[in-house]
Structure 1
Amino acid sequence: MAAWHDGGPNVRRAAESALAGSDADVTAFVTAGMAAAAEHDLRARVEELIAISGPGVREAATAALAGNAAGIQAFLDKGLQNPYEHDQRVLLSQIISTGSPAVQDAANKAMAGTLEDVNQFLSVGQYNPGEHDDRVKLSQLMNVGGPQVHQAANAVMGWDAEDVQDFLPYGYQSPAAHDHETLTIAQLAQPAEHGVEWA
């Protein structure tokens, strides 16, 4: 039976039950049971969308659930794309408002493009500009840090993006402390070199 192969979970369960029963059960399934089970499957798909989607899709999906099976199918076939695109562009706007300059530039280019461009940026593209920004910060550390910071940052420059992200907030602190300690010892040594005694 095609319904068993092509239908959703509820349709398949109802088809299995009908096939295991009498001819009257099969007739009842074909005439009414399959449509009821198919509608149940449609509603389950929309409820799943509500659980994982943004506010635009949730609002449109909730409105679709208030209608009949034909309306729900129409929503899944044609009514989903506009609210989905709206939600994706809202996410992109949030990145534009909080991202670094390189991320903002790439995000603005995606915003001016198609939905495919937006999705590509949200799933992959937003991380590449961020990696560029991290490596710029790493270069700045190399330029302004002491010898130990410079050496550590130079080594990290060849690592992958995740390692660079970890190094920026935490990894440079130990080399920086060592540079500070070296500088402090050097400063203490200067008065002794000039014959000055500490009180």
Structure 2
Amino acid sequence: MSVVRLQGGSPEHLGSGFVAYCNGCSCLVMTSYHVVKSAFINGLMITVIFPGGQPRFQADVQNLSEPGDLAILQFDCEGYMFEPLLFAEISTNPDLFPWTVYLHGYYNGKRGQLIRPSTLPGQIDGMYVNQETGVHMLYANYTSNPGMSGGPIIMGGRVLESTKGLRQERDLLFQSWVYTMLEDWTGGAETIAEMLEMLEELDY
């Protein structure tokens, strides 16, 4: 699973992220805006570190959205092929709840920084769908630790959303924010995977 650790120029642990697209030459990492905000504003290099501490790559911030708390990083993967995490198709069938989910990310342990991602369980209890806009909100119940921000929330091996910050109670998840932001940046496509491929191909 391509869950990565993000490090600033200090070196400072910024948070977590995951490979959302990779073609063997270039990779896109998805994380949260607040994870990379300080490094981006201060012009610091962001290092993408894979489980175990290697390999590691210098990444550029390609896209940012503060309202959606979303950021896309790009790095040249130098012939490495990392398997991207795919996004889940969300059912609106209320009979399927609750859903079991797992948060993945790197937090600061008592004995130092984790070099492999931790996994914490959680639950999706229900959903609200705005009938006019089609926007849906998932009612989530989970706990995350400092440093796990930006890591994926996984259900059935697929991503629902990225972790937005320290949580010890109920939260709302908006996968539609990811779709909307990618649509703004690329002009739109049918799926998130298609828009990520378009985003990598855009000439910035």
Work out whether the TM-score is over 0.5: no
Under TM normalisation by the shorter chain, which class is it? under 0.3
| Structure number with higher strand proportion | 2
Larger CA Rg, structure 1 vs 2: 1
| Structure number with higher helix proportion | 1
Q: TM-score, normalised by structure 2?
A: 0.21
- With CA pairs under 8 Å and 6+ residues apart, which has the higher RCO, 1 or 2? 2
